[in-house]
Amino acid sequence: MQQDLNNLLKLQEIDYFLGELERSKEYLPDMMENLKRELAESQLKFETAMSDLEDSKLKQKNLELEVKTKEADLQKYQQQMMSIKTNKEYDALVAEIDMIKQSVSSMETDLIETIDSIATLETNIEEYKEKLSQTKDNNGKQLAILQEKIDTIGDKVSAKNGERNSVTTEISRQIFSVYDRVRKGKGGSAVVPVKSRACGACFKALTPKKAQEIRKAVKILTCDNCGRLLYWDADLSA
């Protein structure tokens, strides 16, 4: 009886482990996907900022060139002012000069904003680069560990099934069939300790006689309510 109980608990542990291996076939690839996604996001953030920086630097260069060109125009028009003959020519030239000045002023504002955004991007890029390198390192290590786990599931399952077979042959047929039925029907633990003189799974109270029988471990009894196999645990049961 005690031997059956010990083997049942061993079997239950093996089945729990096998269940966990089965579940890991689902969640390990999910975990890997999350790590890969995180890495890709970090990479994208860095690359986007790098490309924005390149765009902003090009914009700065173009604006500087345009400002230079406009300033040369301005100089040219201002020299023409010296040789103006008529009021009409004068008005036209002043209007032209005003327009160029406005355009230069707006380009200069744009230029200041562009230079500011370059500085911000450069700071961000340092940060993103550091983060990316950490993520590559951390996630790379974790991915390798997870891949190794996935690759060894099959071997672990075979080993546990071997253990399961040898434990199962040690358990009496009748007890094993109760165990198997409850495990498949109810899920979770099929062998549970009595807790405070009640079933440890469904909490249905035991009669004093039944509690006594389980305590004496004459034979393995099941819960009237949920059918699980019950055993006495000195710390939990009384």
223, 229, 231, 232: which one binds Zn ion (CB under 5 A): 223
Least distance (Å) from Zn ion to the CB of residue 199? Answer: 3
The strand order across the sheet containing 191-195 reads 198-199, 191-195, 229-231, 221-222
Least distance (Å) from Zn ion to the CB of residue 204? Answer: 5
Paired sense of beta strands 191-195 and 198-199, if any: antiparallel
User: Residue 221, Cβ neighbours under 10 Å: how many?
Assistant: 16
Residue 230 sits in the site that holds Zn ion (CB under 5 A): no
How many chain residues are in contact with Zn ion, going by CB under 5 A?
7
Nearer Cβ to Zn ion (101/204)? 204
Least distance (Å) from Zn ion to the CB of residue 150? Answer: 37
Binding segment (CB under 5 A) for Zn ion, from list 102-110, 164-172, 176-184, 226-234: 226-234
6, 60, 80, 225: which one binds Zn ion (CB under 5 A): 225
Binding segment (CB under 5 A) for Zn ion, from list 52-60, 104-112, 151-159, 223-231: 223-231
Residue 111 sits in the site that holds Zn ion (CB under 5 A): no
Least distance (Å) from Zn ion to the CB of residue 21? Answer: 27
Least distance (Å) from Zn ion to the CB of residue 7? Answer: 21
φ and ψ at 190, to 5 degrees? -100, -20
Contact between 5 and 161 (Cβ < 8 Å): no
Nearer Cβ to Zn ion (167/199)? 199
Side-chain-facing half-sphere of 187: CA atoms under 13 Å: 1
Contact between 182 and 15 (Cβ < 8 Å): no
Residue 143 sits in the site that holds Zn ion (CB under 5 A): no
Query: Cα–chain-centroid distance for residue 86?
Result: 76
Q: Collect all residues with Cβ–Cβ distance below 8 Å to 14 and sequence separation of at least 6.
A: 160, 163, 164, 167
Nearer Cβ to Zn ion (139/183)? 183
Q: Convert residues 173-212 into a mask of x (bound to Zn ion by CB under 5 A) and - (unbound).
A: --------------------------x-xx-x--------
Nearer Cβ to Zn ion (104/228)? 228
Contact between 5 and 162 (Cβ < 8 Å): no
Among positions 6-35, residues that touch Zn ion (CB under 5 A) are none
In sequence order, the β-bridge partners of residue 195 are 198
CA triplet 13, 14, 20: central angle to 5 degrees? Answer: 90
Binding site for Zn ion (CB under 5 A): 199, 201-202, 204, 223, 225-226
